Structure 1
Amino acid sequence: MLTAALFDFDGTLVDTTEMIFQSMRHATTSVLGRDDIPREELLANVGQPLPRQMEILDAEKAELLLESYRAHHEENHDDLIREFPGIAESLQRLRDAGVKVAVVTSKRRRSVEMALEALPSLDLVVDRFVTLEDTTEHKPNPEPLLRGLELVGDVPKENAVYVGDSPFDVQAARAAGLRSVAVSWGAFSEDTLRQAEPDHLVPDIDSAVDVLLGGEL
């Protein structure tokens, strides 16, 4: 019986893909002098902590990249963030069915707070949040997901699921011993997600909740 649903944040509950891309483009152009890095490469590691993404781009200039990204992100956040339709209503369906809902993200708490200020309906339908500062290890390590289960009442792994839009979300769920639902409306293609071998791959939030509540897991 499903009693807890853990969700990724960026690309899963909030539409931040364009915001992330533009901030990445700004950072790599201003710091590295490169505007030729393909969109797919700039978004390839979304789902991991931002400092790690910058290290992958350029280990020696990771701090400068991070500073440039965050400056652009904060300045343009409210103009670029978007709401996926039906998210709050679908999460409420889960809560009405007695399922606890938590967010487990690699995002900083301040960035999550900015998103909730822009899209306040989400804060009303999420029970707990696990952010970058709450764990020592980060996705695809299982520690953040296990922390999420603790926060919603030490829910057994067999009664929980993780929903996310990146291969790192699927890997983290597997490492934590949770079932995984990959969603294809975020930063990654269906083919990329399918290669990660999630338990389910769904095209929209209604389908995700139908899977969670329909006993298909």
Structure 2
Amino acid sequence: MSELRLVIFDVDGTLVDSQRDILAAMAEAFASEGLAMPSRERVLSGVGLSLPETFLRLAGEQGPDSRARMIAVYCTAYADLRQKHGPESSPFYPGARAALEGLAAEPCTLLAVATGKSRRGLDRLIEAHGLEGVFHSRQTADDHPSKPHPAMVHAALDETGVAPRRAVMIGDTQFDVEMARAAGVASIGVAWGYQPAAGLGADRIIHDWAGLRPALDDLTETTR
């Protein structure tokens, strides 16, 4: 039997498109402190970081108490929107579900998640999309330093027992790529996410889900 390999996915901007509710919740957070919301591009450029890091980037001129209140407003607003919109709060990108199902069916491929979401947020997304049992490891911002710190990837490797040379991180931001590099694993950047693919610096860039398996096979030296 072939050696196990591990495919680690970012979530927002990679598997699902959550920008509508992210932007709406962010608008409420800034309005709660009487502040103008940053541009869409600036907000989305920080998706993937933990919320404290995100608000430090976006509202660093505010004191820690103000940022803490904004985070609380954001979390409440986002949860309300998720409840209102259901699975459509974070719809799959076209082809993402089929890609997950195809990889999950491979006996020597394990799947994991490494996300800036909270554990509660990730669990609810997995439940909403019927993905229970798909991921062998779920790493969130609740349990680790923010990306690009490699702790989430290290934990996923430890939980699955897969060697770094047989693991790949897939994401849409430089934080994902830098995290992968710091953990000693390969990276694949997706071209449909929240940061321009040309600036990611990933080992491979894919422009649709059809390109995923060939890139994975190449990076993990898997033959068929």
- Please report the TM-score for the alignment, with normalisation by the length of structure 1: 0.88
Distance 2:81 2:133 in 1: 25
Residue 76 of structure 1 is matched in structure 2 by 81
Gaps of 5+ in 1: none
1:86 aligns with 2:87: no
> Following TM superposition, by how much is the alpha carbon of 1:180 offset from its aligned partner in structure 2, in angstroms?
0.4
Letter of the 2:74 counterpart? Y
Residue 42 of structure 1 is matched in structure 2 by 43
Distance 1:216 1:130 in 2: 22
Answer yes or no: is the 8 Å Cα contact 2:8–2:111 preserved in 1.
yes
> Following TM superposition, by how much is the alpha carbon of 1:2 offset from its aligned partner in structure 2, in angstroms?
6.5
1:203 aligns with 2:212: no
> Following superposition of structure 1 onto structure 2, how do residues 138-157 of structure 1 map, counting pairs within 5 Å?
138-153=146-161, 155-157=162-164
Distance 1:17 1:152 in 2: 31
- Please report the TM-score for the alignment, with normalisation by the length of structure 2: 0.86
Answer yes or no: is the 8 Å Cα contact 1:102–1:152 preserved in 2.
no
Residue 72 of structure 2 is matched in structure 1 by 67
> Following TM superposition, by how much is the alpha carbon of 1:51 offset from its aligned partner in structure 2, in angstroms?
1.4
> Following TM superposition, by how much is the alpha carbon of 1:29 offset from its aligned partner in structure 2, in angstroms?
2.4
> Following TM superposition, by how much is the alpha carbon of 1:95 offset from its aligned partner in structure 2, in angstroms?
2.8
- Residue identity (%): 30
Mean CA deviation greater in 122-131 or 180-189: 122-131
Answer yes or no: is the 8 Å Cα contact 2:168–2:219 preserved in 1.
no
Gaps of 5+ in 2: none
Q: Secondary structure at the match of 2:138?
A: strand
Residue 102 of structure 1 is matched in structure 2 by 112
Distance 1:207 1:51 in 2: 34
Distance 1:205 1:69 in 2: 31
Distance 1:165 1:179 in 2: 14
1:53 aligns with 2:88: no
> Following TM superposition, by how much is the alpha carbon of 1:174 offset from its aligned partner in structure 2, in angstroms?
0.7
Distance 2:196 2:92 in 1: 19
Distance 1:2 1:29 in 2: 48
> Following TM superposition, by how much is the alpha carbon of 1:216 offset from its aligned partner in structure 2, in angstroms?
5.0
CA RMSD of aligned residues (A): 1.8
